[in-house]
Chain A
Amino acid sequence: MMQDTRIRADVLVCGGTACSASGSQEVMKRLREEIAKKGLSEEINVVKTGCHGFCENGPLVIVYPEGTFYVRVKPEDVPEIVEEHLYKGRVVERLLYHEPTTGKSIPTYKEIDFYKKQKRVVLSKCGAINPEKIEEYIALGGYEALGKVLTTMTPEQVIEEVKKSGLRGRGGAGFPTGMKWQFAHGAKGDKKYIICNADEGDPGAFMDRSVLEGDPHAVLEGMAIGAYAIGADEAYMYVRAEYPLAIKRLEIAIDQAEKMGLLGNNIFGSGFNLKIHIKKGAGAFVCGEETALMASIEGRRGMPRPRPPFPANSGLWGKPTNINNVETWANVPQIILKGADWFRSMGTEKSTGTKVFALTGKINHTGLAEVPMGITMREIIFDIGGGIPNGKKFKAVQIGGPSGGCLPESMLDTPVDYDSLTKVGAMMGSGGLVVMDETTCMVDVAKFFLNFTQSESCGKCTPCREGTKRMLEILNRITSGQGTETDLVVLEDLAKTIKVSALCGLGQTAPNPVLSTLKYFRDEYEAHIKEKRCPAGACEKLAQYFITEDCKGCGLCARNCPVHAITGEPKKRHVIDQTMCIKCGTCMQNCPFKAITKK
């Protein structure tokens, strides 16, 4: 970044998907234009970076060396930034981040609550470098780890270091990475493969996308280290076709790395070769399951197969194969460089290091946060995530995507680590956190996730294909007021049996959202069934409309009701016949006095 001594300032513009969607490309274009107009192009460098994680407040613009952090920058704000800040050296106060509770403006990155409790390891370079320039990655120590491995370490030593670090798979199940490598290393075979699973498909998850977009070389370097450790010379990056920016940056990164001799043949002159291919996935969720993913690379329909044999022994095209996900790979170079002990110093004893979470749903700071393992859910949601918007009450957090579970307020002090989360009926998953407030119906949430897994089921095994369908039908009945108490028994029975009998991880975990909501929010299920009432008021078919005392008797509601369910004398309070009401909400929309409520 700082090669040119004449450069006195760097202006970083976030080029992540979220900021791009809110107009960061246009902001960057205007910046370059305005800077040129002022004749500052020689001394001010405009850099497009990867994601900073503070997506809710994008587009983000950061001015270095002082690190001034501007949020929600619109193209029309650009002349002011250039004129005031870059030309006159005066911070544009109104574009700084303002503390929501105190209204205080916060000038730099590190002082913002969102970043204060984070520990950015995997994301350390995201947002700090231009991901399309390998030189910037190298300037911050990139490919040093690969160099160290290839010139000073044996594959066994590499595996030992990763084992010692305690790194566990960041894709969901948390299998110890070093052990996985050991298996693939020990497997017999003259040809071995490395795969990066970048088929991130959980609703609301975008951790891996941001890493690939913001720091693609970290992942590639990790893969190269892994390939050396297990003895592979070919690798596949399986990435969703819906991630065009990530794919583009990976293509650029691979190309640049190959040109510099950091990938391809005879890397670092060591005689070690690695060809990395990009394979675009067509968007089937189940292709995130490793055996389905490999089938997809091989050109077959993405369907899981039973294990054993495990990929370490018989993987891609029947050859020993090691699969890790994006975030796991991205951790590797730093473990090698800084050592296993450094890595172990973060997190808990059995869950070392950090984890990136995507914060979505009813939370103030939608975005990406990387935290040390062992932090509590409460800290993530309230300290980093800024709590629940619009003064609403927290109700639950869904962790682990469609395979995970919903945790209530009482579980918020659960430490975020693999084993604690599993114990309370959720799972780490790939790191999606969906926060829900009091207006969310938990039965509806379970239905949402189950609908997702049912429609993404590959259809191979009976419990998943047929069982989740029946579960979904029961949930549909419950949320539309037709559920029975027997339904609840059957639902739970199905869920428990599917969990132990389905073929792959998708089916085995599909019942988790139902099981966890049944565990923590059973009263909501019962209200739907026994009282035909949705406590959150979210289930449209159970909603009841009432006319309050504020009714002036204007008759607009009655005239607009399509089923003539509203009666009343002029100038007197009207009444809705609940047996006739079809819950369309037309009355409520038409009432000029806000005298109609929904319960």
Chain B
Amino acid sequence: MEMVNLTINGVKVQAPKNATILEAAKSAGIHIPTLCYHPDLKPEGACRLCVVEATGARGLVASCCYPVAEGMVVQTNTAQVRKARRLVVELLLASHPKGCLSCRKSGDCELQRIAADLDVRNHRFDWGERKTYTLDDSNPCLVRDQEKCILCGRCIRMCRDVQGMNVYSFARRGFHAMVAAAFEQDLSKVACSFCGQCSAVCPTAAIMEKDDTERVWDAIHDPDKIVVCQVAPSVRVALGEEVGLAPGSIVTGKMVAGLKAMGFDKVFDTNFSADLTIMEEGHEFVDRLQHGGVLPMVTSCSPGWVNMCELKYPDLLPHLSTAKSPQGMFGAVIKTYWAEKANVNPAKIVSVSVMPCIAKKAECVRPQLRDSGFQDVDIVITTRELGKMLREDGIDFTRLPDAEFDSPLGYGSGAGAIFGTTGGVMEAALRTVADVVTGQDIQQVDYKAVRGFEETKEATLNIAGKEIRIAVCNTLGSAMKMMDRVRAGTANYHFIEVMACPGGCIGGGGQPIPTSKAIKKKRMEAIYSIDSNSKIRKSHENPEIKILYDTWMGKPLGEKAHRLLHTHYSPQNR
């Protein structure tokens, strides 16, 4: 790579020719504060917090998008820069509600942190007009508090450039400029997939997950309720970040112990139902393959993706696997199979799931997901919300002794574990499909072609002498491109995995903030290490799964399985 030499604050720095000043400064250990910048998004230079002095430029330049040049001299801390930087913060604060103490983002808010870092205490514009908006909490997933919006545009870029959904854009001009959905409507009225990526990149409390923690506390404190929970595969590799551990820390045992300490009666593992999903989805795929079903078959575990398909590709719904998501299957099984086994009244069960996902909050209220005779999953909280509850409960997480999931429904194979990352559902399915089709116990279980962050991965495999073409998409943007090809008949695949979020569930909309590709990479590595350290790495070999089928469920795709573990989809008009 061609390098250039520049000087930042008197320090000689070498940087790649196409690097920005911000990147060059970072590599030299020089910190420049940023707000609208996000490592996973295209820089916009909008907030002007990262302005610096650079030779050859008129006025101050936004270091997040200004390219370095040979011989350039950069100053990041002159009087003029300091003044401009502080003014930006001061101006943002003047338009911002002052209730930091009671704000949900308090402590995690980037604006708050920057105001403290830059020591902005001189509020010269307290007399200024403030904009007032009504709160949008019209949907089960996201709450938009526009008064806290600082117009950094991260949500817009995430939704448009990465997710391709284009829900948000700037509207109006001048002081009244705002981030708005089409015609300034509530999110429930527009084609939003509820993936929640906007909330994951929002620096303030302008877009947040809907807070369902109070409902969980209420259930826990109700002596008449049996409160059970399931925890998704990717939560255990991210939750540590909520309590100050390094990204990629695997905290399974402490997480289970923490949930029990909080007062959950039973703590189960969604990895178990991920294995269950593979049983159904794998057999469904083999069935479609052998009996001329609709192909390519597309996975349906990611509710953000399912929403997007129902919104934008209703004609392609027959491609979706009818197998419920692991959360959905778990919900159906807990209030039937487990209730029977444990001899409890399903009406008294409050089924909580801890998910990396914002869209799961909408999934659990789908009318299709009431096959137990009740709402199968009652409350969904995100990794972030669980972190908050742990802190609130005063649990010293790192000192907790490791605990085990409750059984049955407490064991997941390595295949179940990798559901938490892009490519994982495909890999898990292939491990089972290969054995089912060949009738053998195939030892080669690593399908490396489907791993990694690439938005679209594809591979051709040979299973029992048959060529199987597969593709794996993460981000809704790449899913959209793929679905356009499916629609046009040019996607020559048998099986496609789609996860709505960048990197899959490890990058879910409900995962700890901050998030970035580097952090997600650590989480992904952790997921694969759980898998490689598992004794059982194929879903169909999970002993609890075998017992479930042998003693109660019958056969995959059987009558009972069909009733409890499969679902249907319908177009959404928003």
- In contact, B48 and A501 (Cβ under 8 angstroms): yes
Interface size class of A (residues with CB under 8 A): 20 to 34
Most interface-central of B80, B83, B91, B177 (chain A CB within 10 A): B91
- In contact, B44 and A305 (Cβ under 8 angstroms): yes
- In contact, B174 and A308 (Cβ under 8 angstroms): no
- In contact, B91 and A499 (Cβ under 8 angstroms): no
B98 within 8 A of A: no
Closest to B61 in A: A306
Contacting B at CB under 8 A, from A456-485, are: 456-463, 465-470, 473
- B151 / chain A contacts, CB cutoff of 8 Å: 459-460, 462, 465
- A465 / chain B contacts, CB cutoff of 8 Å: 151, 174-175, 177
- In contact, B59 and A466 (Cβ under 8 angstroms): no
Known contacts A455-B174, A473-B127, A503-B45; A497 and B84 CB within 8 A of each other:
yes
B153 within 8 A of A: yes
Q: Which of B59, B169, B172 contacts A501 (CB 8 A)?
A: B59
A245 within 8 A of B: no
Q: Which of A301, A306, A454, A493 contacts B169 (CB 8 A)?
A: A301
B355 within 8 A of A: no
- B129 / chain A contacts, CB cutoff of 8 Å: 469, 473
A241 within 8 A of B: no
A556 within 8 A of B: no
- In contact, A462 and B88 (Cβ under 8 angstroms): yes
Closest to A451 in B: B174
- In contact, A463 and B48 (Cβ under 8 angstroms): yes
- In contact, A494 and B87 (Cβ under 8 angstroms): yes
- Distance of A473 Cα from B128 Cα, bound (Å): 7
- In contact, B174 and A497 (Cβ under 8 angstroms): no
Interface-side segment among B62-70, B247-255, B424-432, B493-501: B62-70
Closest to A489 in B: B124
- In contact, A284 and B173 (Cβ under 8 angstroms): yes
A62 within 8 A of B: no
- In contact, A458 and B170 (Cβ under 8 angstroms): yes
- A463 / chain B contacts, CB cutoff of 8 Å: 48, 84, 87-88, 91
- B59 / chain A contacts, CB cutoff of 8 Å: 499-502, 508
Contacting A at CB under 8 A, from B37-60, are: 44-49, 51, 59-60
A303 within 8 A of B: yes
B300 within 8 A of A: no
- In contact, A460 and B80 (Cβ under 8 angstroms): no
Known contacts A457-B177, A508-B59; A306 and B92 CB within 8 A of each other:
no
Interface size class of B (residues with CB under 8 A): 35 or more
Instruction: Report the number of A-B residue pairs with Cβ-Cβ less than 8 Å.
Output: 110
- B173 / chain A contacts, CB cutoff of 8 Å: 284, 286, 455-459
Contacting B at CB under 8 A, from A485-506, are: 490, 493-494, 497, 499-503
Closest to B69 in A: A308
- A459 / chain B contacts, CB cutoff of 8 Å: 151, 170, 172-178
Known contacts A455-B173, A469-B128; A308 and B87 CB within 8 A of each other:
no
Closest to A473 in B: B128
- B65 / chain A contacts, CB cutoff of 8 Å: 306
- B84 / chain A contacts, CB cutoff of 8 Å: 463, 497, 500-501
B125 within 8 A of A: yes
- In contact, B62 and A306 (Cβ under 8 angstroms): yes
B94 within 8 A of A: yes
- A462 / chain B contacts, CB cutoff of 8 Å: 46-49, 88, 91-92, 150-151
Q: Which of A286, A305, A490, A500 contacts B80 (CB 8 A)?
A: A500
In the assembled complex, the CB of A283 is this many whole angstroms from the nearest CB of chain B, namely 11
B199 within 8 A of A: no
- B127 / chain A contacts, CB cutoff of 8 Å: 473
- B66 / chain A contacts, CB cutoff of 8 Å: 306, 308
B76 within 8 A of A: no
- Distance of A463 Cα from B174 Cα, bound (Å): 11
In the assembled complex, the CB of B177 is this many whole angstroms from the nearest CB of chain A, namely 2
In the assembled complex, the CB of B121 is this many whole angstroms from the nearest CB of chain A, namely 16
In the assembled complex, the CB of B311 is this many whole angstroms from the nearest CB of chain A, namely 22
- Distance of A217 Cα from B59 Cα, bound (Å): 38
In the assembled complex, the CB of A559 is this many whole angstroms from the nearest CB of chain B, namely 39
Contact with B along A293-325 (1 / 0, CB 8 A): 000000001010110100000000000000000
Known: A454-B175, A465-B175. 10 other contacts (CB 8 A): A286-B173, A306-B44, A306-B62, A459-B174, A461-B47, A462-B49, A466-B175, A473-B129, A494-B87, A501-B48
* Nearest 7 A/B pairs, CB to CB: A459-B177, A466-B91, A306-B45, A501-B84, A469-B175, A500-B59, A457-B174
Complex A-B: 19 CB contacts under 8 Å: A284-B173, A306-B45, A454-B175, A455-B173, A458-B173, A459-B170, A459-B172, A459-B176, A461-B47, A461-B48, A462-B49, A462-B88, A462-B91, A463-B84, A466-B92, A470-B94, A473-B129, A500-B84, A501-B59
